[in-house]
A = this chain, B = another copy of it.
Amino acid sequence: MPRLGMEPIRRAALVEATIAEIGRLGSLDVTVGQIAKRAGVSAALAHHYFGGKETLLLAAMRHALSAYGAEVRARLSRAEGHRARLEAIVGASFSEMNFCRDTIATWLNLYVLAQRSDEAMRLLRIYRHRMRSNLLHELKPLLGERTRAETGAECVAAMIDGIYLHEALHEAPPTPGAACAQVSGYLDLLIGDAA
């Protein structure tokens, strides 16, 4: 039943199926067969479009990263004032979407993959750079001093990652609200201190 123009549809389906399978197993030990089955196509088709498993995995990670990026942008566009924009970034990082099983698994495995895949490391670097740059942009006016803002951005970014890790790997369900509050408290210290 070859309808034309299926390529983008299949690619998207396969990428989503990949993320779902990573979430189901919690690791990258997913088989192309399982992914393809979930996407409703044959394993051969996955190879046809992506060339190999590695490419497919990376495409899935890129997709997750880009979804997160979109969330950040959406929230930023709705926020007024430096402090509110900082909270927007934090809020996006602890959004419901980010705490769903699939997303958590994707992130954790991106870390693991970054150890051996240059492309995964590149993705991670891009994510971090954007995060740092977003934070810095709002912190600079609030903190005045340049180096202070840079260190601050670095530390806020680290705290976000750390808290995310903590909330994501917990028997109890994650509490995005508490996570935001903790970062907020740190921001208070950071900013209040400069005033």
Contacts and interface: CB of A to CB of B under 8 A. Distances in A.
A111 B169 contact: yes
A195 B128 CA distance: 34
Given A28-B27, A116-B25, A161 B165 contact: yes
Interface in A88-144: 104-105, 108-109, 111-116, 121, 124-125, 128
A163 interface: yes
B166 A158 contact: yes
By size class, the interface of chain A is 35 or more
Interface string A4-43: 0000000000000000000001111100000000000000
Interface of A: 25-29, 104-105, 108-109, 111-116, 121, 124-125, 128, 151, 154-155, 157-163, 165-166, 169, 171, 182, 185-186, 189-190, 193
Contact of A193 (B109, B155, B193): B193
Nearest to A154: B182
A90 to B, nearest CB: 13
A111 B166 contact: no
Contacts of A163: 155, 158, 162
A115 B26 contact: yes
Contact of A162 (B27, B165, B185): B165
A63 B146 CA distance: 43
B116 A27 contact: yes
